[in-house]
Amino acid sequence: MPTTPIRGLWAGRTLALLGILLVAANLRTAVAALSPIVTAISADVPLGALAIGVLGMLPPVCFAVFGIFTPVFTRRIGLERVVVVALVAILAGHLLRGSAGSLAWLIIGSIVTFAGLGAGNVLLPRSSRSTSPTGSAS
């Protein structure tokens, strides 16, 4: 039975662990952060009842839609690449939301963020299984 050098085992696992930790740390912040500061956001971006309703509806809709399609993306381009794309989407969405000067950009940024989070919700359990101590995917 050939043995794999220790360095080879940890090189990929370290990156996977970092990705898991980054996704886990960002999964809920975008959803939970909006409600407490909606009045402060309204000072810069006028938010009516409909806009607040749409912003509140986006997380479950995006989680459902992107959660359904994440396994398809994972089979096509691989788990690691989809994790990276999800992290980039979360970051880009946060930046768009933070710099939004209009309701449209706030909604677009939210959709991008929640798309990454929806994929992360599906990928996090898969990522942690694929980095099991035995090295075998479950």
Predicted confidence pLDDT, tens digits, the chain (138 residues): 555 555 666 766 787 778 778 777 777 777 887 888 888 888 888 888 999 899 989 999 999 999 899 999 999 998 888 888 988 999 999 999 989 889 999 999 999 999 999 998 888 776 556 554 444 444
Residue 137 domain flag: no
Contact 119, 70 (CB under 8 A): yes
Q: Which pLDDT value is given to residue 136?
A: 44
Residue 77 domain flag: yes
Residue 123 domain flag: yes
Residue 20 domain flag: no
Q: Which pLDDT value is given to residue 132?
A: 47
Q: Which pLDDT value is given to residue 133?
A: 46
Q: Which pLDDT value is given to residue 135?
A: 45
138 vs 132: CA distance, rounded Å = 8
Q: How many domains does the chain have?
A: 1
Contact 96, 112 (CB under 8 A): yes
Residue 98 domain flag: yes
Residue 65 domain flag: yes
Residue 90 domain flag: yes
Sequence-ordered alpha helix ranges (H) in 27-134: 29-34, 38-44, 49-77, 79-99, 103-130
Domain that holds residue 87: 46-128
Q: Which pLDDT value is given to residue 134?
A: 45
Residue 33 domain flag: no
